Amino acid sequence: MSTRLRKGQAPTKRMAHVWDASKCIACGACVLSCTSTNNPDMMTREEKGWHSVASNIRRIDSVTAQGRPEVLLVQCQHCEDAPCLATCPFGATYMDDNGMIRLDPRMCAGCSYCVTSCPYNVRWFHPDSKLPKKCMGDTCLELVADGLQPACVQACPAGARDYGDLNDPDSSVSVTLRTKRSRRLLENAGTEPKYFVVEGS
């Protein structure tokens, strides 16, 4: 059971997500497995703002200058200096001792400040509960607490996703980040994200 960190406390673990863009086949299994696992009631409903399936993973399709189709998968970056943590007026958004950015629904009034504060645009409003949803969902948190991987990691057929502790030098994510070229999104935003995009060997 993870606990809420108080001001000045440092997390004992720094759990991070890794997405290997060089392995990804853009099948969308991670996006759908996220919804079916964490928000099954949203499987047939659209996230109106994004015009896509309501998932904690947002898929951005684009085309490079050379005309090559490109996919970017974005989700909560569990930033070490998370803007949503600073702006949430009621303390509903917090960091736990695993370094994960969490939401306490008891303390959320649905003001949307966390939504406008997130530079990655990864929070979406559940139309019924009006909670600002994001990675990780409740069921994925249960999976992780039971020592399993989150739904997206389990569902990926190409092995393009991973999740682990950056503080553990032997964890699979640490090894990947040590041996492969990777980058983080919006590095200049100063949020210290813990979502890594692997670009190749």
Partner 1 sequence: MAPADLHFQVDIAHWGWSIAWFLWFVGIAGMGSVAYYFVRKAALSYVIFGSLAIGLVLVVSHLGRWWNLPRTLWTMVTNGIFNYSSWMIIGIVLLSVHLLLTVILVASHVRWLQRIGWLKWTGSLAKASAYLIVYAFLGFMATVYSGFLLTQASGIPLWNTSLIPVLWVVSGSIAAIAVIELMYVFGLIESSVSTLAVRLGLGLDAIKLLAVLGFLHVALAYGSAGARIGATAMASGEYALMTWGGVIGIGILVPIAIGLYTVLVKKSKPLLAISSIAALAGVFFLRAVVLLAGAWEPLVL
Q: Give the Cα separation of 31 and 36 in Å (integer).
A: 9
Listed residue (159, 102, 101, 110) closest to 131, CA to CA: 110
Binding residues for partner 1, rule CB under 8 A, total 46
- Which residues inside 122-181 make contact with partner 1, applying CB under 8 A? 123-125, 129-131
Query: Whole-number minimum distance, CB 146 to partner 1, in Å?
Result: 27
Q: How many CB atoms lie within 10 A of CB 24?
A: 19
- Of 125 and 192, the one with the shorter C-beta distance to partner 1 is 125
Q: Decide the pairing of beta strands 69-74 and 58-63.
A: antiparallel
Can you name the residues that pair with 101 across neighbouring β-strands? 95
Q: Which H or E run includes 47?
A: strand 46-47
Q: Is 89 in the site for partner 1 (CB under 8 A)?
A: yes
Token couple for 19: 């997405």
Rg of the chain over Cα atoms, rounded to whole angstroms, equals: 16
Nearer to partner 1, 13 or 50 (CB): 50
Site for partner 1 (CB under 8 A): which residue of 10, 25, 148, 186? 186
Pick the binder of partner 1 from 53, 88, 101, 156 (CB under 8 A). 88
Binding flag, residue 63, partner 1 (CB under 8 A): yes
Site membership for partner 1, residue 68 (CB under 8 A)? no
| Residue 43 within binding range of partner 1, rule CB under 8 A | no
**Complex with partner 1: residue 74 or 143, whichever CB lies closer:** 74
